[in-house]
Amino acid sequence: MPTDLLILVSVLIFPGGLFAFSLGLMLKGVDRRVAARLQGRVGPPLLQPAFDLIKLGFKRTMVPDSAAPGVFLAAPLIGTVAMLLAVALVPIAGVYTPDPRLGNLLVLLYLLSVPGVALMLAGSASGSPFGAVGFSREMALMLAYEATIVLVVAAVGLRTGLAEGGVVTFSLAEIVRHQQEHGAYLLDPLMWPALGAFLFFYPANLGIVPFDIPEAETEILEGPLLEYSGPALALFKVMSALKTVVVLSLGIALFCPIAPHGIAGLAVWLASMVVLLAVGISAVRVSIGRMRIDQAFSFFLKWPLLLAAASLTVVVVV
Amino acid sequence: MTTAVTETYTIPVGPLHVALEEPMYFRIDVHGETVARVDINAGHVHRGIEYLTTKRTMLQNVVLTERICSLCSNSHPETFAMAAERIAGIEIPERAALLRVVAAEVKRIASNLFNVALLAHLVGYETLFMHVMQVREIAQDIKETVFGNRMDLGAICIGGVRYDLDEKTTGFLVGSLDRLVPEIEAIVQTYRTNGSILGRTRDVGVLTREQAIACGVVGPVARASGVAYDVRAVAPYAAYDRLPLEVHVLTDGDVWSRAMIRLAEALTAIDLVRACLRDLPDGPTRLAETPDIPPGQAIAKSEAPRGELIYYLKTNDEPRPERVKWRVPTFMNWDALRFMLAGAKLADIAIIVNSIDPCVSCTER
């Protein structure tokens, strides 16, 4: 098969596109279910996120009079497309290695910030004051957590690059291959600070408690999403589901890409996604309350940044 | 940042807002994330109940006042009945006085837990919210089992109470209270130590003692600001003068203090109910005959879960009252919101508003 076609398949069918879409919705369902169980509730059916999407698909998208219609409708598209590309950039150990022409870790980092930018666009284009507040909060939060994730990625890339006898590498495929040959960074104490910092990045990037500040329902009524309805809102939900897949699989690729080849590898990967989701997201969001934006900002400039900087220093020094 | 945020914009909180349980409209000028000015606009649930009371007989009004608001639904008919009894010079039987305390304090437990649960919800701590609501369910079960209803107890009548405790309901009541105590104590411990709660409620929405006195705030809001004012203690009614009532006072005047006062009062309410059950004498629960209320006027006040509730009643020769007027605790408390919200963060508005436990349908009737 020509490689161009392979790239297309990886973006549209597996592991991006259809596969990531269904997986993201399922993960959202699992998350709601696990959170409900932890709270002593039964929780919705696993397919509830899919049902929600179908329902939204049948509704109209209302564009407020005060909105800038072009940007308002383009924002969810931009975010979703960026996430579709991003999924195809993350390797699945033993199953999928992305084509180098798709891009490397740096491209992924840029793509990962697109959903946040899309939400900011949406908030400012909706013409609602709540959207404006959401915009400024999203921006503050991004400023706070981006530094952390960049340092974490640099630490992992540097560790791999140095061990391979070169300089820093930003090829995820190489990072995965190195770990498959020399053991996962999960078991490498030197990388634990980076792992810790990365775990803080999860809730902030995915916008869940305690960092669901830009959308805080009881404060600013979902902020940027307030004015969205119908298919446009559904697109944002798809974006969020895809983002869950990207961020979780990035975590696995960076720290624990150990799996056999073929179907068994896929099964192991899926299992680790679910475990990471339950531990890193569901359990966190039920056991804590929301921070204020100033609290979150200073928090991120303290602990996660400190951990990330420490890990980079450790990698350079040792 | 080199340029300061200079733009001020207006954010509407309400009349319908997820954080408000009842319609109330705040027009908030926000400077960045900081509140610059607050306009409070009321009147969305005005139903003309005050006028309606003059179209109903005294007996019907006991039923009507119970429906002013669901959370203080026992305090309204109780205070109305107290005013009527004062005009007629009626002494209610001892058993009825104690049973009125039981009804009022059971309502207080549920109402205070409800507010404290909402605080967790507004902070985004859904698990704690659901847990506190689950504990409140015990109080709801008491209401349903003993009084037959989950919100409106229908416990009060002029000259006594309309319910009685037998061996079975007393046993259930005692058992439920025994289950409630450790649960509420655990909740108190959580609110005292949990970082999420403390980080969002300590030093938020502060009302100083001077401001509290100037605004004339009542109830837990006053007691959290160091004003030891509790109608049950300063002007005892029903059987409160012979019960071991503890008035809780904190001095910080922030959202957290108000929540802690409510939790402490829920525990005190349990003690009061237990004391009532211990001393409960045999005897009638109401006057043998429904009394006629002669012409006259009277004022009665009681301590509702939210604070001091005052009723003014004027009667004439007709079976209908000439004028009924009441002042609810929220009316006194919501003006103090201006002080609490001054300079607050946008994120804290809902938390601060909730901390006065506003009861809008009482206030706007």
Query: Rounded to the nearest 10 degrees, what angle do helices A230-255 and A69-89 cross at?
Result: 30
ipTM field: 0.76
CA separation, residue A291 to residues A129, A227, B121, B180 (Å): 21, 24, 13, 30
Tokens standing for B191?
């609110």
d(C-alpha A266, C-alpha A264), whole Å: 5
DSSP A96: B
Give the residue from B50, B86, B79 showing the smallest Cα distance to B62. Answer: B79
Cβ pair B320, B56 in contact under 8 A: yes
Q: Do the domain assignments include residue B1?
A: no
Q: Do the domain assignments include residue B3?
A: no
- What residue numbers bound the domain in which B99 lies? 8-364
Q: Do the domain assignments include residue B329?
A: yes
Give the residue from B151, B127, B128 showing the smallest Cα distance to B139. Answer: B151
Q: Which residue has the tokens 């109080």?
A: B139
Whether residue A286 and residue B11 make contact (CB cut-off 8 A), yes or no, is no
d(C-alpha B3, C-alpha A83), whole Å: 34
Considering only CB atoms, B196 lies closest to which of A40, A130, A289, namely A289
Cβ pair A152, A198 in contact under 8 A: yes
Q: Which residue positions in chain A have pLDDT lower than 50? A: none
Residues across chain A = 318
Query: Residues B95-108, buried b or exposed e (16+ Cβ, 10 A)?
Result: bbbbbbbbbbbbbb
Reduced 3-state DSSP string for A51-62: HHHHHHHCCCCC
Q: Is the peptide bond before A210 cis (omega within 30 degrees of 0)?
A: yes
Q: Do the domain assignments include residue B204?
A: yes
d(C-alpha B360, C-alpha B365), whole Å: 8
B10: chain A residues, CB-CB within 8 Å:
129
DSSP B354: H
Q: Do the domain assignments include residue B2?
A: no
Residues of B with CB under 8 A from a CB of A: 9-12, 17-19, 30, 32-33, 120-128, 130-131, 134, 194-197, 199-200, 345-350
Q: Can you give the pTM of this predicted structure?
A: 0.83
* pLDDT score of B19: 67
- Number of domains comprising chain A: 1
Non-local (6+) Cβ contacts of A225 within 8 A are A119, A122, A134, A215, A233, A236
Domain with residue B50: its CATH number is: 1.10.645.10
- Terminal-residue alpha carbon distance, chain B: 49
A293: nearest CA in chain B?
A: B347
* pLDDT score of B2: 38
User: What is the edge-to-edge ordering of all strands in the sheet holding B25-31?
Assistant: B8-13, B25-31, B34-41
Cβ pair A95, A86 in contact under 8 A: no
d(C-alpha B231, C-alpha B265), whole Å: 14
Whether residue A292 and residue B349 make contact (CB cut-off 8 A), yes or no, is no
A288: nearest CA in chain B?
A: B125
* pLDDT score of A225: 83
Radius of gyration for the alpha carbons in chain B, expressed in angstroms and rounded: 21
CA distance B324 to chain A (A): 37
Residues across chain B = 365
- Number of domains comprising chain B: 1
* pLDDT score of A299: 81
What does residue B217 show for φ and ψ, rounded to 5 degrees?
A: -70, 155
Q: Burial of A219 by CB count in 10 Å (0-12 exposed, 13-18 middle, 19+ buried)?
A: buried
Non-local (6+) Cβ contacts of A223 within 8 A are A123, A130, A131, A133, A134, A135, A137, A138, A214, A215, A216
Ranges of beta strands (E only) in chain B are 8-13, 25-31, 34-41, 156-157, 160-161, 296-304, 307-315, 321-327
* Residue A135 forms contact with B (CB below 8 Å): no
Radius of gyration for the alpha carbons in chain A, expressed in angstroms and rounded: 19
CA distance A259 to chain B (A): 35
Q: Burial of B359 by CB count in 10 Å (0-12 exposed, 13-18 middle, 19+ buried)?
A: buried
Beta bridge partners of B31: B8, B34
Whether residue B134 and residue A40 make contact (CB cut-off 8 A), yes or no, is yes
Considering only CB atoms, A292 lies closest to which of B18, B32, B345, namely B345
d(C-alpha B353, C-alpha A179), whole Å: 53
Q: Do the domain assignments include residue B57?
A: yes
Q: Do the domain assignments include residue B295?
A: yes
d(C-alpha B352, C-alpha B346), whole Å: 10
Whether residue B126 and residue A287 make contact (CB cut-off 8 A), yes or no, is no
CA separation, residue A67 to residues A60, A122, A220, B252 (Å): 16, 9, 18, 44
d(C-alpha B118, C-alpha B280), whole Å: 35
What does residue A95 show for φ and ψ, rounded to 5 degrees?
A: -120, -50
Q: Which residue positions in chain B have pLDDT lower than 70? A: 1-6, 18-19
User: B59 by DSSP, 3-state: which?
Assistant: helix
B200: chain A residues, CB-CB within 8 Å:
289-292
B135: chain A residues, CB-CB within 8 Å:
none
- What residue numbers bound the domain in which A177 lies? 2-317
Q: Which residue has the tokens 């005009």?
A: B87
CA distance A272 to chain B (A): 25
Question: For A14-64, how does the pLDDT look when each residue is reduced to its tens digit (9 = 90+)?
Answer: 777 788 888 889 888 998 888 888 888 888 998 999 999 999 989 988 888
Q: Do the domain assignments include residue B79?
A: yes
